[in-house]
């Protein structure tokens, strides 16, 4: 049983399973890929298939903890309209100051609403937030601004925690403000579990399969375990996911929409109350 579960009490089990897809594992990025990827990037492999019941790892009622839970939340339309208006304002350079002030206020309202719609609260302060706009139709969405290449499946590292302490890291709310569905692809394992499984392999095997011991935990694990399934969950317009992105390997996916991909991300320590 995977330690990472999906929590969406507003959906029936069958509706939630309909939102989930699984791939056959992961593979290294190649020259022929449609996007320019960093060297060593790992991507979901093969086609996306429906998830059979026992593999869905779905819990609707019970939340194990923020570090191992991906939650879905749906916000009220009137609140979403306000957020979208601020996103539009933020793209006008001379109004960006207004947008920033309004964003701080609307984030406060979103945090309150989150408690009402799915029972999650923010412990401490918001650690960061921002709108992001990108194209639809992409297998992967995270771009490294330093080299303009896509990073593929990865762990976020805002907190710079070692592998076995990543469960203490921040998580994030990512609200889909676009007009189409967007996916969160993820490997349903914690950083702790990946680290333990690499240790179980032993350093000689890790080296042999190209998963050098130093460096990036996500890529090293996926090279050593290429058949570890990658799951994908869909958020519809107006929905947000809350995900432990420091602790669970992930990336965005906009394959199912042609329109611009627009999101608002709020980073902090969100937890089930």
DSSP structural state of residue 230: P
Write the secondary structure of 154-212 as one string of H (helix), E (strand) and C (coil): ECCCCCCCCHHHHHHCCEEEEEECCCCCEEEEECCCCHHHHHHHHHHHCHHHHHHCCCC
Q: Which range, of 94-102, 130-138, 242-250, 259-267, touches Fe ion by CB under 5 A?
A: 242-250
Tokens of 256: 């199912």
Query: Could you count the other beta carbons within 10 Å of the beta carbon of residue 271?
Result: 17
Closest to Fe ion by CB, 168 vs 208, is: 168
At residue 36, φ and ψ (nearest 5 deg) are -80, 115
Q: Which of 156, 193, 228, 261 binds Fe ion (CB under 5 A)?
A: 156
Residue nearest to Fe ion (CB): 156
Round to whole Å and give the CA distance between 128 and 271. Answer: 16
Q: Which range, of 7-15, 81-89, 225-233, 245-253, touches Fe ion by CB under 5 A?
A: 245-253
Closest to Fe ion by CB, 245 vs 254, is: 245
Cβ of residue 234: shortest distance to Fe ion, in angstroms? Answer: 17
Judged by CB under 5 A, the number of residues near Fe ion is: 2
- 89 in Cβ contact with 98 (< 8 Å): yes
Binding mask 219-238 vs Fe ion (x if CB under 5 A, - otherwise)? --------------------
Q: Which range, of 4-12, 48-56, 89-97, 240-248, touches Fe ion by CB under 5 A?
A: 240-248
Interface contacts to Fe ion, rule CB under 5 A: 156, 245
């Amino acid at each position: 049983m995977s330690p990472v579960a999906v929590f969406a009490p507003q959906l029936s089990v069958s509706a939630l399973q309909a939102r989930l897809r699984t791939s056959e594992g992961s593979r290294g990025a190649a020259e022929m890929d449609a996007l320019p990827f960093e060297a060593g990037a790992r991507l979901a492999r093969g086609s996306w298939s429906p998830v059979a019941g026992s593999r869905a790892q779905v819990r609707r009622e019970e939340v194990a903890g923020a570090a191992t839970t991906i939650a879905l939340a749906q916000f009220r339309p009137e609140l979403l309209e306000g957020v979208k208006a601020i996103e539009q304002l933020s793209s006008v350079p001379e109004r960006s100051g207004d947008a920033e002030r309004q964003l701080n206020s609307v984030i406060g309202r979103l945090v309150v609403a989150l408690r009402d719609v799915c029972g999650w609260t923010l412990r401490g302060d918001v650690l960061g937030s921002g709108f992001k706009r990108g194209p639809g139709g992409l297998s992967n969405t995270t771009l490294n601004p330093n080299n303009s290449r896509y990073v593929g499946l990865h762990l976020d590292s805002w907190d710079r925690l070692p592998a076995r302490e990543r469960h203490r890291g921040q998580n994030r709310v990512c609200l889909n403000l676009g007009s189409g569905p967007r996916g969160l692809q993820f490997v349903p394992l914690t950083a702790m579990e990946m680290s333990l499984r690499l240790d179980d392999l032993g350093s000689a095997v890790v080296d042999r399969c190209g998963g050098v011991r130093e460096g990036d935990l996500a890529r090293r694990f996926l090279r050593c375990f290429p058949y570890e399934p990658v799951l994908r969950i869909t958020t519809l317009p107006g929905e947000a996911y809350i995900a432990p992105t420091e602790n669970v390997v992930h990336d965005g996916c906009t394959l199912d929409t042609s329109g611009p991909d627009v999101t608002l991300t709020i980073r902090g320590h969100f937890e089930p109350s």
